[in-house]
Structure 1
Amino acid sequence: MKNIDISFITINYNSSSFTIELINSILIQTKDIKYEIIIVDNASKYEDLNNLKEFIKEIKDIKLVENRINSGFASGNMLGVNSASGEYYFFINNDCKILNNSAKILKDFLEENNDVALVTGKVLDEKGGFSSSYKQFPHLIKELFGNSIQRIISKNKFPSNKINLQINSQVEVISGSCMFFDSNIFKQIGGFDTVFFLYCEEEDICKRVWDFGKKVYFVPNAQIYHKSGGSSSKNFEMEREFYISYYHLLDKYYFIGSKILLKFSLLIKLFFRIFKKKNGLKIFLSFMGGFSKKNSLRYLQQLRDVEE
């Protein structure tokens, strides 16, 4: 069995056209490393799944994992990990495209920096402009008073997503659309928390990397295009899902006093959004209901029948 340097892992959900573009970009741009591509299909419609199957049938080193239920981002990626044998895991959204030999760039960076376990590249938007590759964890001071005050007070001077970094830089949280992991560290920290169905997985896993004693970095020489929202639609249910995940994040990492203040801050923000946003009132009412996990999209998924 040959050694694999990198396992690309991506999720397809009724968006095979994006997945095919991602695969093509990997095949064109990735050089001088041994890699495999693992696609987890999260119970797409048969037409979409068969379109993907037809495309990949002649391509070597591609594994298609068929999930009969849409298990979301974290669980879907963990299903991909079950089939991965790479020294590094490159989790990448299927609505991304590799613009250069970014996998090797990120691999080389990790090999040269043993104190780093997780990196991302420069994520670009449709116009070639800098998109958000990194952000900060929802610290209490930041949520109450803003990024500027938080950076003045905090001993960890992590850059906000409003700063366009041009050099290799230590960051607190990276985008879930492009996460390049040392597989050994990923395994030791337990991988993605599958309680998250969608959203906030990156905040959670980046914090666990830091808590494990390793660093998270942004490496701008690696460039990736991301069609934000290409693999999911924006609606009330998706927006509510974000806050369900956000509440789980708060419950996981904050003591009662901090949680109360953070939720009070959110109350103020969501109240004023009633008058500004289309779904403002519905989201505010969901807040009053505590963004219960029982309303998660996870519980609306149905097991797909086996194709005859």
Structure 2
Amino acid sequence: MSIAISCIIVNYNTAKFTLDCVASIFETHQNTEAIEVIVVDNASEKEDYLLLESELQKKNFPNTKLIRSKQNFGFGAGNMIGVNAASNCEYYAFINNDTLQLTNNCLWVLKDFMDATPDSGVCSPQMLDEDKNFRSTIDHFSSLSREILKRGFLEKVNPKKYPSRKKFFDKPTAVNYVQGSFMFFNAEDFNKIGGFDTNLFLYYEESDLGLRLLKERKKYAYIFPEAQYIHFKSVSIKKSVNILIKRELKISLLYHTRKHYGFLAHQFLLNFLRIRYGLTCIVKPKYFPLFRLLLGGASLSKSLKQKQSIKEI
């Protein structure tokens, strides 16, 4: 039987979550012969990788392979390693390792929806937290108006264009983009737009993909609320590196802005952020490194991607 769905899961120092994630796929699905799971280890520490490797071998899940990257290239690039190893499939399911399947046969339900919805390029189930409470699954494209006026204001003044992120949708709905913790892509559309932009180490990948789907393929992102999943959010990001994450957010945001909206928009946003954080660091000195980054332009050369080392087993 040919592979219909390739599930790609990136692990980074959270092997136990990854093992639970993979197990939940096989525990909740029938006809798993047409599903493959590709786990990409993004240069985790030796102990974590060896645990992942040994437990996957013990579990002996069908159609499952583990790939070890010697360097952490980031979220998008890690997923692209999985894409390059995937079979010729109809759909890619990019699933965070800190998730659990809730809906029986969720992947097949999503496939049926996508098959029946020609203008869909990607969809997502409804995200829930570990207590099965609502968690926002959609968002609006990153733009000058979103960054300066903020989402809440835009949702109030133009709810048609900016539907509430806090709304529990009762039917499949086209949105700007869905969260990267569970993205179910039409493989042809994903491949045609070139997949993840690997210049982005972390953050804004979903907005970038959604914009390219719309511009290049005239395809939309959909939330499909009849299916649900649990997301233990950001388990691989340590609070101790909070300022580094904020730096990476701004680097990715500014790159995304220039890519999609041009030089003038990029410069306007850069200067806005310089003023904002220049004032902020007067009362919160911990933000000075972020302000200094913005003064220097916050280019991709300052990304955490450039600081990753090669790891051997």
What CA deviation, in whole Å up to 9, does each residue of 1:1-42 have, x standing for no partner?
x31111110101111011011011111112245201100011
Normalized per residue, the structure richer in helix is 2
Shift of 1:218: 0.4
Q: What percent identity do the matched residue pairs reach?
A: 35
**Corresponding residue for 1:297?**
304
Shift of 1:155: 11
Pair 1:237 & 2:239 matched: no
What CA deviation, in whole Å up to 9, does each residue of 1:144-171 have, x standing for no partner?
3344664688797242423332321111
What is the CA–CA distance in structure 2 between the aligned matches of 1:76 and 1:267, rounded to whole Å? Answer: 31
**Corresponding residue for 1:125?**
129
**Corresponding residue for 1:30?**
29
Q: Could you tell me whether the CA contact under 8 Å between 1:123 and 1:133 is conserved in 2? A: yes
What is the CA–CA distance in structure 1 between the aligned matches of 2:37 and 2:283, rounded to whole Å? Answer: 43
Distance 1:59 1:130, change over 3 A: same
**Corresponding residue for 2:67?**
65
- Paired residues in the alignment total 305
Secondary structure at the aligned position of 1:225 is classed as strand
**Corresponding residue for 2:91?**
88
Q: Could you tell me whether the CA contact under 8 Å between 1:136 and 1:160 is conserved in 2? A: no
Matched residue type, 1:230: V
**Corresponding residue for 1:134?**
138
Q: Could you tell me whether the CA contact under 8 Å between 1:141 and 1:149 is conserved in 2? A: no
Shift of 1:179: 0.6
Q: Could you tell me whether the CA contact under 8 Å between 1:122 and 1:224 is conserved in 2? A: yes
Distance 1:178 1:233, change over 3 A: same
Pair 1:110 & 2:114 matched: yes
- TM-score scaled to structure 2, two decimals? 0.90
What is the CA–CA distance in structure 2 between the aligned matches of 1:261 and 1:153, rounded to whole Å? Answer: 23
Pair 1:97 & 2:96 matched: no
Structure 1: stretches of 5+ with no match in the other structure: none
Distance 1:143 1:237, change over 3 A: closer
Q: Could you tell me whether the CA contact under 8 Å between 2:270 and 2:297 is conserved in 1? A: no
Provide the aligned C-alpha RMSD in A. Answer: 2.2
Shift of 1:279: 3.9
Pair 1:283 & 2:287 matched: no
- TM-score scaled to structure 1, two decimals? 0.91
Shift of 1:242: 1.4
Distance 1:132 1:148, change over 3 A: closer
**253-262 or 142-151, which moves further after superposition?**
142-151
Structure 2: stretches of 5+ with no match in the other structure: none
**Corresponding residue for 1:255?**
262
What is the CA–CA distance in structure 1 between the aligned matches of 2:266 and 2:158, rounded to whole Å? Answer: 18
Shift of 1:142: 3.1
**Corresponding residue for 2:9?**
10
What is the CA–CA distance in structure 2 between the aligned matches of 1:20 and 1:84, rounded to whole Å? Answer: 19
Tell me which of 213, 217, 220 is aligned to 1:209: 213
Pair 1:198 & 2:202 matched: yes
Q: Could you tell me whether the CA contact under 8 Å between 1:68 and 1:304 is conserved in 2? A: yes
What is the CA–CA distance in structure 2 between the aligned matches of 1:129 and 1:268, rounded to whole Å? Answer: 38
What CA deviation, in whole Å up to 9, does each residue of 1:177-221 have, x standing for no partner?
111001011111110111111111111111111112111100011
Shift of 1:251: 1.3
Q: Could you tell me whether the CA contact under 8 Å between 1:32 and 1:104 is conserved in 2? A: no
Q: Could you tell me whether the CA contact under 8 Å between 1:158 and 1:170 is conserved in 2? A: no
Distance 1:253 1:90, change over 3 A: same
Shift of 1:272: 5.2
Shift of 1:286: 1.9
Shift of 1:275: 6.3
Q: Could you tell me whether the CA contact under 8 Å between 2:70 and 2:311 is conserved in 1? A: yes
